Structure 1
């Protein structure tokens, strides 16, 4: 089984690998990646409306925002995030963390990661800051609300940024 690699280091501070036998879009099967969360990796605060999420840390540690507070998850530990639970991740340590991350069912989560990587490859995004990056990332987030809904920043902010970006010619 050959693995496909997704490089989102510039944007989220992560890289991920998934096996070729997985579907990027699946209504029934989970989507699982072996991920590296580099120092400084961070997501927005969000939830998955129709998916449960699972983390298993193999090496290093990450911080997981869940139940309104940050909790450190270390090597050998696991975390289950039920659908609709508000959460986020970050790696504030000086070392990479290696983990398995699963979304169940996969829905279009795999496709959303591949689409974000394409935005990087096309030079449309190169980070999480700056108007152009935020416009494209907002458009991307709104396209994939089936799998991920942003809480911070709120959806209204994403809608405004996406619209302003589109008016200036930024379109995914």
Structure 2
């Protein structure tokens, strides 16, 4: 039986869950990820960088096509089982792998901030951003709407992740 609702927030939560839901193969580990969850409209997405047990590094992309779904559901009844999720995978280039490893090594040798969320900023709308990185000695995860200046530490990795699907991100 399909899950139907008239609660738009339930649809948004379901879309966010779908965007986050990657199926990893046995032994794979996520090295880094970047997520954008817009608060109003927009196209939520997540990009991951994954390493397989054989050392192959690939990227994965999931985006909820909100424009398509909300244009189909004009009567105010939403089907949580029929969200249109755009997916793609590709092998990361040798150049990007070298850059990724260089940046991960640099972060392992740096004192990292506990948070990059600017607590003094007030955001009425916009997006929530998430960054996760697997380092040899720790896993780090950050969430923010407005970042502090410490985000500069992560810009090279964020740009590398976004570059994988720059043609897909709306």
Q: Please give the range of the TM-score, normalised by the shorter of the 2 chains.
A: 0.3 to 0.5
Give the structure with the higher percent helix. 2
Which structure: larger Rg?
2
TM-score, structure 1 as length reference:
0.33
TM-score, structure 2 as length reference:
0.33
Give the structure with the higher percent strand. 1
